[in-house]
Structure 1
Amino acid sequence: MELRNLKTFQVVAEELNITKAAKKLGYTQPTITLQLQALEKELNHRLLTRVGKTTLLTAAGKKLKNHVDRLFIFIEEIEKEMEELRGPSGILTIAASEYYCSQHLPTLINTYMEIYPDVKVNLLPLNSAHAIQSVRNGVADIAIIANACNDYDMNNTFLEEEQALLVVSSKISKEKSLQSILEENTFISYDHHCSFSHIVEQFFKEANFQPKSTIMVGGSDENIKMAVLNGIGYAILGQNAVKNELKNGSITILQEVSDSIVTSAINLKVRSEEPNIQTFNDFLQNAWPVNETLNLKEKSHLVR
């Protein structure tokens, strides 16, 4: 069956008037008659009948009208979805840690939405482990995480490599050696679900040392930094999280951590070509604010 003939039948069935249908479709009346006859011949059923001057649908015509109406609704949905794939539109959900949500993403998202005004962006504050799971479950389209994700089904877009530092409040570090600071103070840790966990574990393994006590503050860089500033203990943080405190001297670097913090954007590989995901990944690679690497040898407050 030709869609053209079905569309003609749909309009005639709605108008129940060949003249009005012809005007609406832009066809001549003989053309409409020929199309209806072709459809009736193909289906082997009369679709229309006349009672006096009134045109009515037959039983077959009524059934066909129901099917045709659903068919063209479905066709409209196909056309709409295919049109949406021509460019970014709709909702883009991004999962990221509190640090990324507050420090980097608001400005980036505003710029992205200026370029692609048909896209609305939602932010989900989640630690890296939960952000990865949100992408896998389809809750988020993209996650910004503080480590590389090498899962076979994930596309990984590198954004930045950041130095990890063992730090303490400068009030605690005055006239004390590294060994005494570690022995006398509490280690302030992320929770076990944080992507930094493996960095922490590796650091203490290489140092052949375990903290005398540990306080888990959670997955927030800001909370851990505030705990350090308040003299609760020492912690491992990324250089970007403490750059201002290093400049004003309120935080002291105890030691450089060998494992760096890798910032990445991830999404499911099967969704990589979706316009929202593809354009945001491309945008991130060009717009992500990369900070200069600290030259620790030049830091006079590095504890020896």
Structure 2
Amino acid sequence: MELRLLVTFEKVADVLSFTRAAADLGYAQSSVTGQIRSLETSLGVDLFERLGSRIRLTEAGERLLPYARRMTELAEEARAAVASAGDPEGTIAVGTMESLTSYRLPPLLEYFHHRYPKVRLTLRPTLGDATRQALRQGTYDVGFLMEPDTEHEGLETEVLAPEPLVLVAGPGHPLSGRTGLTSADLAAAHLVGTEPGCPYRDLFEAELREWAPPFMEFGTIEATKRGVTSGLGVALLPRVAVAEELASGTLVALDWEAPFTLFTQLAWRRGKRLPAHVRLFVEQARRLVSEQSRPA
């Protein structure tokens, strides 16, 4: 079996589309189709079922996929080992979310930019479920998660730090001077937040579902902060995302403690052989993100 055919097979299996696989690999669609047919001919089995405009793996394709992954990863590891005398190099596809990209990752990104210029980081903005799926499929090399659970099916996970959350409001908000707030006290408050799928938004909404306070969706953290500053409501956000506003007094922390804890994590597919430059990224993420999250 030729390695290039296995690489193409793995990509088609990941995205379940000849057209998208061709675009990702830089081939014509006819080349991808021809390579898959060549691989099927050499093995004497069909690897995909053609269902009109859709495809899916056959049982033989399902059995081949883990071997294809191991062989392509081993080839990448061998290539990296041969080139290890020089500076680390390669591309790392990183799944992440806005709050981590903007407020946790800058020291890590700056470190790699200056220290390892031959390592190219490609940041893919996705939320938890989408990030986990992309990791299992091999679309991402590593992914940052902010979740209450620290074990995920099919993934290896490195817990970097707990992620403190804070309920914030504008200085003039009626709840800003009250102490010992309970979830029931928020029933009359207007909630402001990011998009669905954001872990702290979803958990916050679930906690207050009994009282169903009105919710205004702003999408991004920056827009959410502006809405709260303008007096439109209260928002639950990572403390790191509002540290400057709390220090300046444009936002105030309300005396309410979230009944759940989130952890910032780095994950990759279980059993995946991480190339040297990806292992280096994991090591530095562990060091820099953990150090940054420690209280001063």
TM-score by length of 2: 0.62
Q: Look up the match of 1:290.
A: 292
CA-based RMSD of the aligned residues comes to 3.0
Q: Confirm or deny that 1:83 pairs with 2:79.
A: yes
The correspondence of residues 1-304 of structure 1 with structure 2, limited to 5 A, is: 82-86=78-82, 87=84, 88-147=88-147, 148-173=149-174, 177=178, 182-201=186-205, 203-204=207-208, 209-218=210-219, 220-254=220-254, 255-288=256-289, 289-292=291-294
User: Using the alignment, how far apart are the partners of 2:263 and 2:207 within structure 1?
Assistant: 16
Q: Look up the match of 1:49.
A: none
SS in 2 for 1:240: helix
8 Å contact kept, 1:173–1:181? no
User: Using the alignment, how far apart are the partners of 2:282 and 2:134 within structure 1?
Assistant: 17
Q: Residue deviations 1:71-116, cap 9 Å, x none?
A: xxxxxxx988723235442211112112222233243123124443
How far did residue 276 of structure 1 move?
Answer: 2.7
User: Using the alignment, how far apart are the partners of 1:158 and 1:216 within structure 2?
Assistant: 29
Letter in 2 for 1:275: A
Letter in 1 for 2:270: K
TM-score by length of 1: 0.61
SS in 2 for 1:231: coil
User: Using the alignment, how far apart are the partners of 2:159 and 2:76 within structure 1?
Assistant: 33
Structure-2 change in CA distance of 1:216 and 1:203 (3 Å): same
Rg comparison, structure with higher value: 1
Letter in 1 for 2:174: S
Q: Residue deviations 1:110-149, cap 9 Å, x none?
A: 3124443432111122233322233223222111111245
User: Using the alignment, how far apart are the partners of 2:200 and 2:252 within structure 1?
Assistant: 20
Structure-2 change in CA distance of 1:107 and 1:224 (3 Å): same
SS in 1 for 2:208: helix
Identity %: 20
Q: Residue deviations 1:253-302, cap 9 Å, x none?
A: 221212122101111122253223211111111111433559xxxxxxxx
Q: Residue deviations 1:165-209, cap 9 Å, x none?
A: 22211121377645897344311133332222453145336xxx5
Letter in 1 for 2:91: I
User: Using the alignment, how far apart are the partners of 1:251 and 1:101 within structure 2?
Assistant: 22
How far did residue 240 of structure 1 move?
Answer: 0.9
Give the ranges of 4+ consecutive aligned residues of structure 1 lying more than 4 Å apart after TM superposition: 78-81, 174-181
Structure 2 unmatched runs, 5+? 1-73
Count of paired positions: 213
User: Using the alignment, how far apart are the partners of 1:175 and 1:235 within structure 2?
Assistant: 13
SS in 1 for 2:195: coil
User: Using the alignment, how far apart are the partners of 1:80 and 1:273 within structure 2?
Assistant: 9
8 Å contact kept, 1:99–1:221? yes
8 Å contact kept, 1:96–1:123? yes
8 Å contact kept, 1:186–1:211? no
User: Using the alignment, how far apart are the partners of 2:245 and 2:185 within structure 1?
Assistant: 19
Structure-2 change in CA distance of 1:246 and 1:113 (3 Å): closer
Letter in 2 for 1:85: A
Letter in 1 for 2:129: A
